[in-house]
Amino acid sequence: MNNYLEANKDRMLEELFTLLRIPSVSADPAYSEHVFATAEFVKEQLIKAGADNVEICQTAGFPIVYGEKMIDLSKPTVLCYGHYDVQPADPIDLWDSPPFEPVIKDGKIYARGSADDKGQMYMQVKAFEMMMQNNSLPCNVKFMIEGEEEVGSTNLEIFVKANKERLKSDAVLICDTSMIANDCPSITTGLRGLSYLEVEVTGPNRDLHSGVYGGAVANPINILCDMIASLHDEQRRITIPGFYDKVDQVSVAEREAMAKAPFSIDDYKAHLDINDVLGEEGYSTIERVSIRPTLDVNGIWGGYIGQGAKTVLPSKAYAKISMRLVPNQSHEEITALFEAHFKKIAPASVKVKVTPHHGGEPAVTPTDSKAYKAAEKAMEVTFGKTPIPLRTGGSIPIVTMFERELNTKSVLMGFGLDSDAIHSPNEHYGIFNYFKGIETIPHFFHYFSIL
Ligand code: BES
Ligand code: MN
Ligand code: MN
């Protein structure tokens, strides 16, 4: 089985490099042609790997690449999902090598998208190629690879609703998450939801001289900081009324199981160069990033930020705020609660505007399903260890959407590491992880088709 992998490693790496060189940043319109070009590349590679009916499906935004290999309708079908778009590379100055010129250092591939998700999505394509070449594809497979994951998958939902029959499958396989360590495999069994919005606080109708007016007129930046600070209490709980009402309380048994996962707080702190962690009282670090909801400012701006000093009392202040949600919070409800609360706490001296961005629902995936067991067995074969089921903090909103629209559950068999610096400068993906994924996925297919 692995002879093919051994013989083709260099080419499989070279192809990934070609994919990583296309800057498919979905958030920035300046990169739009590259996002479309990436879809073309993915299409070509699916065809070369042996998929049928490969098609670039246009949407109101970036296209979805579809392909399939139906070998026998009486056999089960796996729907492979991944995304070919990437996060912006900013801040570019902090990269040690250019983000779209992949290089290998210490056994890792450095490039934007190497781990999230080009490297992981491409493992699925290469694993499929390998099964085709070895004549060992044991069941049907469909590919749906999108270009808007990093901006909320809005058009994917429309596509899914319109293509329910074509997308019919018995399980969705997603490789877009991380595991505990290279010698400690895990399978993600829960993801947080997301409510993302932007706030605008307006004071006077124009920027003012901070000496002439300062002290008498509300400074929207000062006010915004007060308002944001008030969103957490001393226990670092979120103060928005009703915010925790629907939060699913995780059982003592599950919390005890989580506490058994290997985790070193000292390594964690050392890795981030922080003297201490900070979070909601009464919960461990692992719990704070998985089973508890959060509120974070992602960006804040306003006033004068150029060279030197300019005395100004600004007219406006802005912030981008995200809330990570857990079962059974709903992103629309939480967004509404935030908006009402934020407007209520604003003093009469300012005006407040809240603009929701994309959102997504939290997800919990089953551990008693055929797909989970197949992933577990596959990792047992290739890692020699039983993977640990673990909820993580990131969000993949389409998991809940697939459940709702297609009535199909997902299995989140990711091969990244939390230390891969996804969304950060110097994102990287281990060569070990890339090939481990390609090696493991065919075992997943094997067990899925016999269990
Ligand atoms: N692949 C990530 C999510 C992820 C990363 C889950 C690591 C678990 C471990 C995905 O591409 C992502 O970044 N999602 C966004 C949400 C999306 C709506 C923009 C996120 O989590 O911020
Ligand atoms: Mn991703
Ligand atoms: Mn991402």
Q: What is the CATH number of the domain that holds 389?
A: 3.40.630.10
**What is the domain-level CATH number for residue 219?**
3.30.70.360
396 Cβ closer than 6 Å to some ligand 1 atom: yes
Cβ neighbours of residue 384 under 8 Å, at least 6 residues apart?
none
281: in domain: no
328 and 428, same domain (yes or no): no
pLDDT score, position 199 = 98
For ligand 2, an ion, list residues with CB under 5 A. 116-117, 176
Peptide bond into 91 cis (omega under 30): yes
Determine the average pLDDT of the residues in 299-315. 97
Residues 30 and 130 in one domain: yes
User: Is residue 1's pLDDT more than 70?
Assistant: no
Rounded CA-CA distance 126/19 in Å is 13
pLDDT tens digits, one per residue of 394-433: 999 999 999 999 999 999 999 999 999 999 999 999 999 9
Q: Are 113 and 443 in contact (CB under 8 A)?
A: no
Task: Among 334, 360, 386, give the residue marking a domain's end.
Answer: 360
In a domain, 139, yes or no: yes
> CB-hemisphere CA count at 13 Å for 417?
19
Distance in Å, CA 177 to ligand 2 centroid:
7
Residue labelled with tokens 């995780």:
250
> Which of 24, 395, 429 to mutate to test ligand 1, by most ligand atoms within 8 A of the CB atom?
395
343 and 371 in a common domain: no
151 CA: nearest ligand 1 atom: 19
How many other C-beta atoms lie within 10 A of the C-beta of residue 123? 29
Cα–Cα distance, 197 to 358 (Å, whole number): 8
Is residue 88 in some structural domain? yes
Partnered with residue 209 across adjacent β-strands are none
Max Cα separation, the chain?
79
pLDDT tens-place string over residues 62-103:
999 999 999 999 999 999 999 999 999 999 999 999 999 999
Amino acid 74: pLDDT: 96
Return the sign of the alpha-carbon dihedral for residues 129, 438, 149, 36: negative
| Confidence bin at 358 (pLDDT 50/70/90) | confident
Q: Give the span between the Cα atoms of 396 and 296, in whole angstroms.
A: 18
- Percent of the chain past pLDDT 70, that is, above it, reads 100
The answer to whether residue 268 sits within a structural domain is: no
CB 221, CB 210: distance < 8 Å: no
Q: How many residues does the chain have?
A: 451
Question: What single-letter amino acid sits at 131?
Answer: M
Q: Determine the pLDDT at residue 178.
A: 97
Looking at the fold, whether 121 and 220 belong to one and the same domain comes out as no
**Residue having the nearest C-alpha atom to atom 9 of ligand 1:** 177
Sheet with 193-202, strands from edge to edge, namely 294-302, 316-325, 193-202, 351-360
Q: Residue 217 pLDDT > 80, yes or no? A: yes
The 3-state DSSP class for residue 256 equals helix
Residues 235 and 130 in one domain: no
Ligand 1: which atom is nearest the Cα of residue 393? 8
Q: Could you tell me whether strands 171-174 and 77-83 are parallel, antiparallel, or unpaired per DSSP bridges? A: parallel
Q: Residue 124 has which token pair?
A: 């699925």
Return the number of other C-beta atoms located less than 10 Å from residue 340's C-beta: 14
What average pLDDT does the segment 217-234 reach? 98
pTM for this predicted structure: 0.94
Please give the pLDDT value at position 257: 87
Do residue 41 and residue 109 come from a single domain?
Answer: yes
Are 428 and 329 found together in one domain?
no
210 and 355 belong to one structural domain? yes
Closest C-alpha to ligand 1, atom 4: 394
- Whether 62 and 211 map to the same domain: the answer is no
**Among 306, 325, 360, residue at a domain's last position:** 360
Number of domains in the chain: 2
Is residue 285 in a domain? Answer: no
Q: Name, in order, each residue with C-beta under 8 angstroms of 402's C-beta and a sequence gap of 6 or more.
A: 81, 160, 172, 408, 409, 410
Same domain, 29 and 166: yes
Indicate whether 22 and 153 sit together in one domain: yes
Average pLDDT over residues 33-60: 98
Q: Do residue 187 and residue 200 come from a single domain?
A: no
Tell me if residue 85 falls in helix, strand or coil. Answer: coil
Domain of 428 in residue numbering reads as 2-191+362-450
pLDDT band, very low/low/confident/very high, at 2 (cuts 50, 70, 90): confident
- Please provide the average confidence, as pLDDT, over all residues in the chain: 97
